[in-house]
Amino acid sequence: MSRRLIALLILTVSILAACGRASATHPAASGYLIFLEAGYSSGGETVKVLDSGTGTVVRELPIGTPASDWSRYYIVSQLPGSAQLKAIDPASGRTIAQTAIPGGYTLPNLAFQGPTGGLSPNGQWLALTKNSPSPSGEGQGGGASITTNFLVGSSALTDSFKAIHVNGDFVFDALSNDGQSLYLIQKMGDPNHYQVRLYDVGAGSLMPQVVVDKREPNEPMNGIRGDSAADPAGNYVYTVYIRQAGPFIHALPLDHSPIAWCVDLPSTAANDMEKQFHWALAVSPDGGSVYAANAALGTVAVMTTGQPPKIVRTAPVALGHTGDLFAGLITNAEAKGPQIGGAALSPDGRTLFSFADRGVVAIDTATLKVRARYLDPWQPDTMRLSSDGKWLYVAEQGESKLWQIDPINGAVAEITGVTHPWALLWAQPK
């Protein structure tokens, strides 16, 4: 092939790629608030609240813990000798309730990125945490002398919190809907190994049994926390863990029992940790199915819930392009792993939205076939359906892009003036 023809082909591909980039055909619909994390401001992580019609920032919040419907947002401010725990309305910034707590307590940082945690799934109970030296000078098993402290109480902030002190190095995992079962991750000697423990809040004691998968009670837990989602009723919390042996979903029932379930996810390269981090979860509205999508692997898995939960369908999904005309000359860009908001499910449960190697795909949950593709060939990082299911918001940090997509007709509108939208957290009508 002549150099002139090669140059012509490359030029043609470039023109096609440029034409293929989704552009706004109309202004973005107004009337919605978009909550996104945009990195650091004034020395700390912040959440910006944007007007969907103009892209202007209407308020800025410190990193905190949102209720599942974002009706409340909890933040802690450290004061001399004490701290203040406040519940605010994130849409208006209005203070709903506040209370004083001992100094040093913070809201649990689950994955060292994004919003903090600590709320029960129904939003009625809240836990805070603080580490301090052990009074005895010796930790569990003769290790480091650490006591982990927790406060557990009503999220209404009208009653006093119960203080909990556990000898050892623990972090918050989950809190049951009745506020009586506090699930903890106990750190072991190996940084990647851990145990799940159950603290009985009413009895004031750490249960002696380790929470295990009863099918493999002697299998040591290990891995790095990935994406997580709770079922709509708040009876289960599902979390992806990444490990050298391959990823799995940790299904934790919040029913005061020392039982959990570990369900292996498909993996073509178990030791490829970077690709494992691309797993994103979405739970069906009835809580009966958990969808796991991985754009880097081009795979979607469907897990049915129950005891035990199990993977019932796995399909290679055409998340990337096949049969490219110029595949020999131009290669697809490497898939980019989402940080937060890697998948979304329509309110009727019929469509799963996921990232592809380029753009966003809509997957039919009945057939696991791609029915639509948006924003090709952009490489967005994060997505979120509005709370009413009317709009799909998608962002790409590197290009400072934020789009509003109509899932019904595929119309795309760009929201301008946004800078480095790192993670889409929530979107709701005003």
Whether 124 is covered by a domain: the verdict is yes
Of 167, 193, 211, the domain-final residue: 211
Q: Is residue 278 part of a domain?
A: yes
Note whether 329 and 201 are same-domain residues: no
d(CA 157, CA 119): 12
- For residue 20, give the DSSP letter: H
CA nearest to 404, candidates 393, 419, 388, 390: 393
Q: 283 and 175 in one domain?
A: no
At 277-303, the pLDDT tens digits run 899 999 999 999 999 999 888 899 999
Q: Is residue 8 part of a domain?
A: no
Same domain, yes or no, for 73 and 53? no
Residue 303 and residue 182 in one domain? no
Q: How many angstroms separate the Cα of 118 from the Cα of each of 66, 129, 162, 202, 287?
A: 9, 9, 14, 18, 21
Q: What is the per-residue pLDDT across 311-363, written as a single tens digit (0 to 9) for each?
A: 999 998 865 544 343 332 222 334 344 469 999 999 999 999 999 888 999 99
pLDDT level of residue 139 (50, 70, 90 thresholds): very low
End-to-end alpha carbon distance in the chain: 59
Residue 102 in domain: yes
Is 84 inside a domain boundary? yes
Q: What percent of the chain has pLDDT over 90?
A: 68
- pLDDT by residue (tens digit) across 65-119? 999 999 999 999 999 999 999 999 999 999 999 999 999 999 999 876 789 999 9
The reply to whether 52 and 94 lie within a common domain is: no
**10: pLDDT strictly greater than 60:** no
Alpha helices per DSSP H over 123-282 = 273-276
Q: Is the domain of 372 the same as that of 291?
A: yes
pLDDT at residue 320 in the model: 54
pLDDT digits (tens, 9 = 90+) for 195-247: 999 999 999 999 999 998 878 877 777 888 899 999 999 999 999 999 888 89
Which residue reads 């892009």 in tokens? Answer: 401
Statement to judge: residues 306 and 375 lie in one domain: yes
The pLDDT of residue 73 is 98
Amino acid letter for position 279: W
The total domain count for the chain is 2
pLDDT, one tens digit per residue, over 366-395 is: 999 999 999 998 999 999 999 999 999 999
- Neighbour tally for 401: CB within 10 Å: 20
DSSP 358: S
Residues 180 and 318 in one domain: no
In-domain check, residue 323: yes
Average pLDDT taken over every residue of the chain: 86
Residues 286, 368, single domain; the answer is yes
What is residue 339's predicted lDDT score, i.e. its pLDDT? 67
Q: Are residues 340 and 411 in the same domain?
A: yes
- What's 302's domain CATH number? 2.40.128.630
pLDDT value of residue 22 = 47
Residues 423 and 396: their CA atoms lie apart, in Å, by 9
Domain boundary among the residues 177, 211, 245 is at 211
Q: DSSP states of 336-389 as a string?
A: ---SS--EEE-TTS-EEEEE-SSSEEEEETTTTEEEEEESTT----EEEE-TTS
Same-domain pairing of 78 and 159: yes
239 within some domain: no
Report the distance separating Cα 408 and Cα 422, nearest Å.
Answer: 26
pLDDT the model gives residue 4: 40
Query: What pLDDT, on a 0 to 100 scale, did the predictor assign at position 222?
Result: 80
Number of C-beta neighbours around residue 86 at 10 A: 17
Mean pLDDT: which of 123-132, 148-157, 187-196 is highest? 148-157
Q: Could you tell me if 36 and 89 lie in one domain?
A: no
- d(CA 360, CA 343) in angstroms, rounded, equals 10
How far, in Å, CA of 119 to CA of 365, rounded? 30
Amino acid at 59: R
Cis link prior to 191 (omega < 30° from 0)? Answer: no
* Domain at 76, CATH number: 2.130.10.10
The answer as to whether 2 is a domain residue is no
Predicted confidence (pLDDT) at residue 254 exceeds the cutoff of 60 = yes
Domain boundary among 162, 196, 211: 211
Range of the domain at 182: 65-106+115-211
